C-alpha cells in the first residue's frame, strides 16, 4: 500500500471511530458544528462513537504507532482500558495499512467497568465512584463486534480480560513498542506501569490518557517515574493525555 493510500485509509478510520462521517445533528440547531467541536478535544460521549478520546488523541495513537514502525522499535502494542475498543482498532488499522502481519495488538480490559477502589492498598483511590458508572462497562462481545465492523478482528488481536491487578503481572507478552494506559484510577495506572513499562522497548512510547483528567492517574505516574528515576520528557497531546519516549 502506497503512503497516499495508507493515509487516506487511516484518515477515514479516525473519522469513523469518532463518528465524524455521519455524526448526529448539533444539539443546538442554531449552533451548527457543535458535535465536531466536542469531538476534536475528546469530550463527546455520543452513543455511536467507538472511542471517547477525540481526534487529537487518536492522531497521537496513529502517529506513535507509525513512528514505532518506521523506527523499527521491536514489539507489540497494548492498551489497558479500552472502552469500546477504538484506540486498539486504530492500532490494528495502522498495522494493516503497513501490511504488517508479525505484530499483535493486546486489548486489556475487565469488560465489566472499573474496579471498586481498594483503599487499603491504594488510598489515593478512596472515594472513587467510577465503578458505579454503567456506561463505562462494555462487554467483550461488543468490543469484538466493533473490531469486526472494520474487518480488523483476526489473530493479530489478543484480548486480555480481567482487572489489571489480576491479568497484567502474568501477561505473557514481551516486548512492547507502544503502551497506552487509560485506567483513570491510581491502582489501574500504577499496576499497569509496574507490569508493562519494563517490557517497553528502548525507543518505544508510552501514552497516559488520563494524566490531566484525574489526580489519581497523575499521582501514579509521578510516583512511578520518581521511584525508577525516569526523566524522559513528558509531551502534551491535548488537555489530558501525555506521552514520553523511553530513552535509548
Instruction: Specify the pLDDT at position 27.
Output: 47
Q: What contacts 51, CB < 8 A, 6 or more positions away?
A: 17, 18, 58, 83, 84, 85, 86, 87, 90
> Which pLDDT tens digit goes with each residue over 127-140?
888 898 888 899 99
C-alpha cell belonging to residue 202: 528502548
Q: Under a CB-based contact definition with an 8 Å cutoff, are residues 38 and 79 in contact?
A: no
Q: What is the pLDDT of residue 26?
A: 46
Q: Give me the residue label for grid cell 488510598.
A: 123
Query: Residue 68: inside a domain, yes or no?
Result: yes
| Residue 56 belongs to a domain | yes
Could you list the residue range(s) of the whole structural domain that residue 165 is in? 50-245
Residue 27 belongs to some domain of the structure: no
**CATH code of the domain containing 68:** 3.40.50.150
Specify if 26 maps to a domain: no
Q: What is the residue whose three cell numbers read 503502551?
A: 179
Q: Does residue 144 form part of some domain?
A: yes
Residue 34 placed within a domain: no
Residue 165 falls inside a structural domain: yes
Counting other chains too, the contacts that 88-91 makes at CB distance below 8 Å and 24 or more residues apart are 88/147, 88/157, 89/13, 89/17, 89/50, 89/146, 89/147, 89/150, 89/152, 90/10, 90/13, 90/14, 90/17, 90/51, 90/58, 90/61, 90/62, 90/65, 91/61, 91/65, 91/178
User: What is the number of structural domains in the chain?
Assistant: 1
pLDDT under 50: residue ranges of the chain: 26-31, 35-36, 42
Residue 42 lies in a domain: no
Catalytic positions are 59
Q: What is residue 24's predicted lDDT score, i.e. its pLDDT?
A: 61
Mapped onto helix, strand or coil, the DSSP state of residue 35 is helix
Amino acid at each position: 500500500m502506497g503512503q497516499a493510500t495508507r493515509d487516506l485509509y487511516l484518515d477515514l478510520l479516525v473519522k469513523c471511530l469518532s463518528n465524524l462521517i455521519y455524526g448526529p445533528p448539533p444539539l443546538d440547531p442554531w449552533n451548527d458544528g457543535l458535535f465536531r467541536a466536542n469531538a476534536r478535544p475528546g469530550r463527546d460521549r455520543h452513543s455511536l462513537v467507538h472511542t471517547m478520546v477525540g481526534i487529537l488523541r487518536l492522531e497521537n495513537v496513529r502517529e506513535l504507532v507509525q513512528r514505532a514502525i518506521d523506527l523499527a522499535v521491536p514489539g507489540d502494542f497494548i492498551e489497558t482500558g479500552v472502552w469500546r475498543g477504538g484506540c486498539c482498532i486504530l492500532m490494528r488499522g495502522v498495522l494493516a495499512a503497513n501490511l504488517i502481519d508479525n505484530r499483535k495488538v493486546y486489548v486489556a480490559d475487565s469488560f465489566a467497568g472499573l474496579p471498586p477502589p481498594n483503599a487499603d492498598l491504594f488510598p489515593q483511590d478512596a472515594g472513587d465512584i467510577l465503578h458505579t458508572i454503567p456506561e463505562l462497562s462494555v462487554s467483550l462481545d461488543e468490543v469484538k463486534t466493533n473490531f469486526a465492523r472494520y474487518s480488523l478482528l483476526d489473530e493479530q488481536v489478543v484480548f486480555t480480560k480481567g482487572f489489571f491487578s489480576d491479568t497484567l503481572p502474568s501477561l505473557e507478552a514481551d516486548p512492547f513498542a507502544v503502551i497506552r494506559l487509560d485506567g483513570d484510577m491510581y491502582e489501574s495506572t500504577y499496576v499497569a506501569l509496574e507490569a508493562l513499562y519494563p517490557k517497553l522497548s528502548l525507543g518505544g512510547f508510552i501514552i497516559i490518557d488520563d494524566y490531566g483528567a484525574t489526580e489519581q492517574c497523575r499521582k501514579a505516574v509521578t510516583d512511578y517515574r520518581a521511584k525508577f528515576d525516569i526523566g524522559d520528557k513528558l509531551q502534551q497531546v491535548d488537555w489530558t493525555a501525555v506521552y514520553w519516549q523511553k530513552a535509548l
